[in-house]
Structure 1
Amino acid sequence: MTRIVVLDDYPPALATSQAYRRLRELGEVTLFDTLPQGEAAVIDRLRDSDVAINIRSSTKITNVALAAVAGELRLVSIWGTGTDNVDLQAARQWEIRVTNTPNTATEAVAEHGLALLLALARRVVAVHNALCQGRWSQPEFFSQLYGKTLGIVGTGAIGRQMARLGVGLGMAVIAWSPHPKPELEKEIGLHYLDSLEEILRQADVVSLHLRLTEEYQGMIGEKELRTMKPTALLLNTARGGLIDQKALVTALEQGWIAGTALDVFATEPISPQDPLLTLPNVVLSPHCAGRTREAVENGLLQVVDNVRAFLQNQPQHVVV
């Protein structure tokens, strides 16, 4: 019987889903409802398993972990699109297949990004808190998105959906991508620019939609933040590591940019002492952009379908 381990179902997602019932039809399932604390814990959970299901991106599946279970582990099935928490080179070396679930949370993540952006532009958190504290007063002027320029960095599925939402709001949409798709200019109404620097200089809102790779680690740093308009807003629902978070705090404190809205952070969970939590020109959420009932169920069903396809020697959504 196939031995399947669920490494990190916390907060609970898989255990309460229809997908879990389907998973149990595929083999003997061990489900951990806590997060592994460190590399040794990950290795302990992986041992004696043919298939591992990775729910949380905070779980790091390293070269050391994969080497320790090489010859036993055959598949890592990831819930989500990002794979930066898994050492893909090591997986390739040890002949361990890695799959993910692209396009199952596209609309959910884009909608959440828009919600964060509107909350930031209209200072929703600040005026809500003031009203709840008994203060009925006119706030400073809000930022209007209509007629402004939205800069999309990365035109994968979520970047494209965010561009559509921007067009729907009456924004001019410009984009840069390492893999541009010229047909999107007509299909969506966006306009590609030749460089990230041009996006940063022109956009009133910069929205990040790239996978985290070594090339893009810290790609938004001091230089890039100083390039942006002082009235610009920065939105990130992709991966926290795309931004140099220390430089971002400085930019927000010194007014290089007007504000930021983040669903992802360099280290997750974010520390309660992180200076981002003390700033007035931020709106933050705890890496939950894809957490709609529809997106969660669709994604988890895809995780299980990826396992089923692999066991039938017809692997799908293969990363490695």
Structure 2
Amino acid sequence: MDEMTGAVVSAELNCAVLDDYQDVARSLADWSRLGPGVAIRTYTEHLATEDALVDALADCEIVIIMRERTPFPAAVFARLPQLRLLITSGMRNAAIDLAAAARHGVTVCGTASNSEPPAELTWALLLGLARQIVPEANAVRGSGPWQSTLGADLHGRRLGLLGLGKIGAKVARVGEAFGMEVTAWSENLTTERAAAAGAALAPSKEHLLRTSDFVSVHLVLSARTRGLIGEEELRLMRPTAYLVNTSRAGIVEQDALLRALREGWIAGAGADVFTTEPLPPDDPLRTAPNFLALPHLGYVTRRNYEGYFQEAVEDIEAYLKGNPVRTLT
């Protein structure tokens, strides 16, 4: 660190981009702006253990992570003494121990993120479930029957939203366009805020679950929302109802969800989030009946990724000049 300017001075800094599953990080941003002083390398395979992560990043001063794919708890910061800058996609990442980062002198920065892609994916799951898209498509491509299911109607049915923030509000507007009756609930949601998004405020979580034909989760994972949907809540739902979760796996108890699907408490479920990601090959949810699962694609679109990596370059530039931007505290 230059004592006069505060800028970082180094012959060369190593920067690792983690979990670049699609191998697109290098093509979606102009990394050459960082000059020869920053050596970029990418990892297209997930580093599944702490030891593997530490071994791979031992020589890195800068690390870029994708959302919450790779946790950075206190133990990891303690084992990476060279780390100085950690960048995450998005401006919130519950998998980073920010207090530990501060103790170890690591600056944490974020990037902007668009709420449209996860809202759109919510509808991909909901429509896929309602019209049995995957089994019917597989039947056409294989030797299955020509039509074997009856689709569930959306028009005139009730869509219940648990959470009505940026994403939930976008989902609500689409539901309204489909001619659905939209209701919403969260602990602090008011009648006025619900109405502004085109939804009616449900009197309680239980009432929403009992009366909705489709339930979609759009809450932030916290101590209050962890395990919010368990066996008791799933049994409240109609046997013809569907549950979609594109928020966080911890909000829905996974064992209870598996039982609900196997025993037919609900008609089906769709999820884009799991407790362990990538989902282990032997996880029973992979073969659960009437379960439409996606590998956490909610924010995985070209526009979002361009924003993530281009702003990651900006974060590095600003840090090297001694003026970090988009810092997380």
Q: Normalising by structure 1, what TM-score?
A: 0.86
| 1:295 maps onto 2:291 in alignment | no
Alignment of 1:126-165 (within 5 A): 126-165=135-174
Where does residue 43 of structure 1 map in the other structure? 54
CA, structure 1 residues 302+223, in 2 after alignment: closer, same or farther (shift >3 Å)?
A: farther
| 1:67 maps onto 2:81 in alignment | no
Q: Does the CA contact (< 8 Å) of 1:4 and 1:28 recur in 2?
A: yes
Which protein is bigger by CA-based radius of gyration? 2
* Alpha-carbon shift at residue 129 of structure 1 (Å): 1.7
- SS of 1:152's equivalent? strand
Alignment of 1:83-162 (within 5 A): 83-104=93-114, 106-162=115-171
Whole-angstrom CA distance in 1 between matches of 2:71 and 2:200: 37
- SS of 2:173's equivalent? helix
Match of 1:167 among 176, 194, 200: 176
Match of 2:249 among 233, 240, 265: 240
Where does residue 235 of structure 2 map in the other structure? 226
Whole-angstrom CA distance in 1 between matches of 2:91 and 2:207: 27
Q: Deviations over 1:143-191 (max 9, x none)?
A: 1111222222222322222122212212222222355376543432122
Where does residue 66 of structure 2 map in the other structure? 55
Q: Deviations over 1:278-303 (max 9, x none)?
A: 23311111112222222221232233
Aligned pairs, how many? Answer: 317
* Alpha-carbon shift at residue 7 of structure 1 (Å): 4.3
* Alpha-carbon shift at residue 311 of structure 1 (Å): 4.6
Where does residue 16 of structure 2 map in the other structure? 6
Letter in 2 for 1:101: T
| 1:201 maps onto 2:210 in alignment | yes
- SS of 1:229's equivalent? coil
Q: Normalising by structure 2, what TM-score?
A: 0.84
Where does residue 278 of structure 1 map in the other structure? 287
* Alpha-carbon shift at residue 124 of structure 1 (Å): 0.9
Whole-angstrom CA distance in 1 between matches of 2:54 and 2:36: 23
Whole-angstrom CA distance in 2 between matches of 1:234 and 1:13: 32
Query: How much is the aligned-residue C-alpha RMSD, in angstroms?
Result: 2.7
Whole-angstrom CA distance in 2 between matches of 1:224 and 1:294: 36
CA, structure 1 residues 92+179, in 2 after alignment: closer, same or farther (shift >3 Å)?
A: farther
Q: Deviations over 1:168-216 (max 9, x none)?
A: 2122222223553765434321223354333222322111122333443
CA, structure 1 residues 82+152, in 2 after alignment: closer, same or farther (shift >3 Å)?
A: farther
Letter in 2 for 1:248: L
Letter in 2 for 1:20: W
Q: Does the CA contact (< 8 Å) of 1:82 and 1:212 recur in 2?
A: no
Q: Does the CA contact (< 8 Å) of 1:116 and 1:261 recur in 2?
A: yes
Gaps of 5+ in 1: none
